[in-house]
Chains A and B, each alone.
Chain A
Amino acid sequence: MLSGPRQAMGRSTLPYCHESFHNLQELRQSASLANKVFIQRDYSEGTVCTFHTKLPSELDNRIEKTLFEDTVKTLNNYYAEAEKIGGHAYLEGCLACITAYLIFLCMETRYEKVLKKISRYIQEQNEKIYAPRGLLITDPIERGMRVIEISIYEDRSSSGSSSGSSTTSSSGR
């Protein structure tokens, strides 16, 4: 059985890119995809979903270190909140077990609620901070919760030069 990553809820996606609002559409039209950077998972705290907060070298001259770190730390906090093992998780688990898990037909799990919050946060970050700098963050859930994919765009007018290290020629058009 082959497996692919799932798509974010309620959003139609195009290969490699995401568009939700006008300014992001303009980004797509006037810029072309130059490169992608992948922020890997940080397993030093165990199997909880945490990403490395270190700014990759390809983004050094694109975005300020503090902004980037803030984004990743907020995402890490959201995932920690979703995976927190506490009274709420137990109650939810016990209730679900008693109802033979039928309760999930009516009710959203806590994790799904947090995932929606994360999705909204990423959209907001893209609009306010990343799109103006020619960057786009992909929701980790669309990459199997393994990486945060950041797409780097170049202006079409200066697309002769590619930024950073090159990836395979299959990306971009």
Chain B
Amino acid sequence: MPQCVALDHCSVLSPPRSSIRACHVLPWGEERCPYLAVHLSAAVPVFAVVLFVFVMAMLLRTSFSDPGVLPRALPEEASFIEMEIEAANGSVPPGQRPPPRIRNVQINNQIVKLKYCYTCKIFRPPRASHCSICDNCVDRFDHHCPWVGNCVGKRNYRYFYLFTLSLSLLTVYIFTFDIVHITLRSVDSGFVNTLKETPGSVVEVLVCFFTLWSVVGLTGFHTYLISLNQTTNEDIKGSWSGKNRVQNPYSHKNFMKNCCEVLCGPTYPSVLDRRGMMLEDSSTSCRSPDVTIATANVPTPNEKTTSPLIPNEHTLDQAGLGGATAAQNAPASVPEEQEAGPGPREAPKTPPTPSVFKESTH
């Protein structure tokens, strides 16, 4: 039950929707806190505030950190890989489809297929996947979460998990103390009077009750995935479901080790150049407001280079559009907030154009 995946897609610009969920703590603060602080303990609202701040911090960290985007290949690297592929495939008679671009690699006695990404012009590392919303390959791709407005991948999975976990705790906490508050007031002045004095409490209880199921469910699901060292993407595709004796080669077969690796592993650096300028006819420079742990990068001037289009009929088949071909331009890029729409159809081997086309999910 990966709820995040089932929800609507949203553009990158929309604010994290999860902040709406977390903010149901605010009316709680106005009405219930003084009563609970007086009758129970001042620690009750204080802990709620601390937890709320932690939830918001994790949410912002998940939303605004680089999930582990793999930058597109520079033209020389792309050509080098193309040449290797052509050398491996040999000459294909005209009219015949060239074989799929796949590399097989053996990890832990398991054959893993590395697919070629036509947009990024790289062979994707194991566990990486291309996100069509962000239009990037992401390392250890989990899913694209519209609620946080970002992909969840290698670099920000732990923040995402901590966000869902702390949000679950916060929801349970508020739910519990709302019920305690209603009970205490009812003991003092009767249930009906309590409803009249603090109608918000009952509404709050209902909101928490329904939120609990989705958030706690999501946390439970991700705890299960972490214990197996799997990603949501692999779970959905059933990559390691056990069919044909296929097993997860990345799992340490030990709950603690898997958890430690996913949650307490090293903090990977970002390999994106967020401030690089791309000289392109169609797009103007626009800076991303993202904040990451990466140190400041020096913008480099880049020549507009072009590479000959290689016919990729597989793109035609996979995309189902029957014609969108990708042409990659200057190396360093500007993080664009809007997605480029699908470009016009182009025959293969035409002179390269300076615009960039978006492809659908690979």
Residues of A within 8 A of B (CB): 1-7, 9, 11-16, 36-38, 41, 43-47, 82-85, 89-90, 92-94, 96-97, 100-101, 104, 109-112, 115, 141, 143-147, 149, 165, 167-168, 170-171
| Alpha-carbon distance A92/B264, docked complex (angstroms) | 8
Contact (Cβ within 8 A) B271 A111: no
Measured CB to CB, the nearest residue on chain B to A171 is B76
| Alpha-carbon distance A110/B264, docked complex (angstroms) | 13
Contact (Cβ within 8 A) B136 A1: yes
Residues of chain A with a CB closer than 8 A to B80's CB: 36-38, 167
Measured CB to CB, the nearest residue on chain B to A83 is B266
Measured CB to CB, the nearest residue on chain B to A102 is B57
User: Can you give 16 contacting A-B residue pairs, CB < 8 Å?
Assistant: A1-B336, A4-B273, A4-B276, A4-B333, A7-B276, A14-B300, A43-B126, A46-B108, A46-B126, A47-B125, A89-B266, A92-B266, A100-B53, A149-B77, A165-B83, A170-B305
| Alpha-carbon distance A43/B270, docked complex (angstroms) | 20
Q: Is B294 an interface residue (CB 8 A)?
A: yes
Within 8 A of A (CB), among B228-264: 249-250, 260-261, 263-264
Contact (Cβ within 8 A) B303 A15: yes
Whether A5 touches B271, Cβ cut-off 8 Å, given contacts A168-B76, A170-B307, is: yes
Whether A90 touches B264, Cβ cut-off 8 Å, given contacts A15-B300, A115-B269, is: yes
Contact (Cβ within 8 A) A147 B77: yes
Besides A1-B288, A85-B266, A89-B265, 5 other A-B contacts (C-beta < 8 A) = A2-B336, A3-B69, A7-B276, A100-B57, A149-B77
A19 to chain B, nearest CB (A): 13
B11 to chain A, nearest CB (A): 11
Residues of chain B with a CB closer than 8 A to A7's CB: 273, 276, 297-298, 300
Residues of chain A with a CB closer than 8 A to B293's CB: 104, 109
Contact (Cβ within 8 A) B107 A2: no
- What is the total number of residues of chain B having a CB less than 8 Å from a CB of chain A? 78
| Alpha-carbon distance A104/B297, docked complex (angstroms) | 17
| Alpha-carbon distance A44/B69, docked complex (angstroms) | 22
Contact (Cβ within 8 A) A2 B278: yes
| Alpha-carbon distance A120/B131, docked complex (angstroms) | 35
Whether A15 touches B302, Cβ cut-off 8 Å, given contacts A2-B334, A141-B271, is: yes
Residues of chain A with a CB closer than 8 A to B268's CB: 83, 111
Contact (Cβ within 8 A) B114 A144: no
Residues of chain B with a CB closer than 8 A to A92's CB: 266-267
From B73, B79, B135, B264, give the contact of A167 (CB < 8 A): B79
Whether A111 touches B267, Cβ cut-off 8 Å, given contacts A44-B107, A144-B71, A170-B307, is: yes
| Alpha-carbon distance A27/B253, docked complex (angstroms) | 52
Contact (Cβ within 8 A) B57 A3: no
Contact (Cβ within 8 A) B75 A2: no
Residues of chain A with a CB closer than 8 A to B333's CB: 2-4
Contact (Cβ within 8 A) A1 B122: no
Q: Please, what's the 1-or-0 string for B328-362, where 1 marks a CB less than 8 Å from any CB in chain A?
A: 00011111110100000000000000001000000
Whether A44 touches B105, Cβ cut-off 8 Å, given contacts A3-B72, A85-B260, A101-B61, is: yes
Residues of chain B with a CB closer than 8 A to A146's CB: 70, 73, 77, 122, 125
